[in-house]
């Protein structure tokens, strides 16, 4: 743009296929005119009998960096010339590389995401993409890196936390979660901070740092387990202290599950169900003290069991 804008042709005469230009049958629409216009025009015919054009207001675009010129220069020009509102923001993501190399047919180094889903589940893949690749930058994919995050973060940090907490509730409290919130708890302050910080990051499409912040909270819950040692709080004389610790852990997991629901929705629901909590997802529930008393809690099955990585093809 700084170098000066020039007209561009909206048609091509040498293409074998394309949308015909009504006033010149020897010309077809330039693909980047046809494709871009369809973003807006499809809203008026995508659902028969339903006009979706009001959805255009305040639209955001998500795109790859190799098509930046078409979306930042051509597309606004087309919209302005037709009297339509331009997109409010464009968020540009980078490329994925495999072991430091670009993905290409000639190298035969592509990883089929369906194989990862079949092995690890869709939540694990979604989590890895958001966690390991900073949005807007290029990222490197390795099978060992995927496996390592699956085991260390999903399996250990989150999965083991739920297993340990529910097992302690089942064994030490007869499967009951008592409703004994303590607003002076360190867990309460952490939940408030999480509630306030993550939306600001997501509003900036800082997807990776938002997840980093949530994961700091999850690791804080694990530290709380080690510091409070609820397995040592035995007997009636320590029942009140034990109830508070187990409540904080259950409530912390509930908060974490809701905060993580955009990243690992199926897993979030499983966590809430394991704790006997409602599965309604609302950011207002990312707050300390929302866990209701529950009974019949059993030791949860592993959220992310240990798996053998898929064999390279």
All domains of the chain, ordered by start, with CATH? 11-93 (3.40.50.620), 146-285 (1.10.730.10)
Q: Which tokens hold the place of 238?
A: 């320590």
Q: Span 43-50, mean pLDDT?
A: 86
Q: Is the pLDDT of residue 55 over 90?
A: no
Identify the pLDDT of residue 311: 61
Instruction: For residue 232, count CB atoms less than 10 angstroms from its CB and return exposed for 0-12, middle for 13-18, buried for 19 or more.
Output: exposed
Identify the pLDDT of residue 32: 93
Instruction: Kindly indicate the confidence band of residue 217, based on its pLDDT and cuts at 50, 70 and 90.
Output: very high
Q: Is the pLDDT of residue 189 over 90?
A: yes
Nearest-angstrom CA–CA distance, 123 and 120: 8
Identify the pLDDT of residue 223: 97
Q: Is the pLDDT of residue 107 over 80?
A: no
Residue tagged 């303590």 (tokens):
182
- Please give the model's pTM, rounded to 2 decimal places: 0.84
């Amino acid at each position: 743009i700084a170098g000066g804008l020039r007209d561009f042709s909206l048609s091509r005469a040498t293409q074998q296929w394309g949308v015909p230009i009504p006033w010149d049958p020897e010309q077809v629409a330039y693909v980047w005119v046809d494709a871009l216009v369809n973003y807006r025009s499809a809203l008026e015919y995508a659902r028969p009998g339903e006009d979706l054009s009001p959805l255009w207001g305040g639209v955001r675009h998500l795109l790859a960096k190799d098509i930046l010129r078409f979306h930042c220069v051509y597309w606004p020009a087309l919209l302005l010339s037709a009297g339509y509102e331009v997109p409010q923001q464009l968020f540009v993501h980078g490329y994925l590389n495999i072991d430091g190399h670009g993905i290409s047919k000639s190298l035969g180094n592509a990883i089929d995401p369906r194989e990862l889903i079949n092995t690890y589940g869709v939540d694990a893949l979604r989590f890895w993409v958001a966690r390991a690749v900073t949005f807007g930058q290029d990222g490197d994919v390795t099978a060992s890196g995927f496996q390592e995050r699956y085991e260390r973060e999903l399996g250990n940090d989150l999965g083991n936390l739920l297993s340990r907490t529910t097992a302690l509730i089942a064994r030490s409290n007869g499967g009951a979660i008592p409703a004994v919130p303590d607003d002076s708890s360190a867990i309460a302050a952490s939940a408030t901070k999480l509630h306030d910080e993550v939306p600001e990051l997501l509003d900036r499409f800082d997807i990776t740092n938002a997840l980093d912040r949530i994961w700091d909270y999850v690791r804080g819950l694990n530290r709380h387990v080690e510091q409070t040692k609820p397995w040592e709080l035995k007997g009636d004389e320590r029942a009140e202290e034990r109830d508070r610790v187990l409540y904080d852990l259950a409530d912390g997991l509930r908060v974490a599950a809701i905060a993580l629901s955009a990243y690992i929705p199926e897993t979030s629901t499983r966590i809430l169900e394991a704790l006997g909590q409602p599965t309604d997802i609302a950011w207002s529930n990312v707050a300390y003290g929302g866990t209701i008393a529950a009974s019949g809690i059993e030791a949860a099955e592993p959220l992310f069991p240990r798996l053998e990585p898929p064999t390279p093809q």
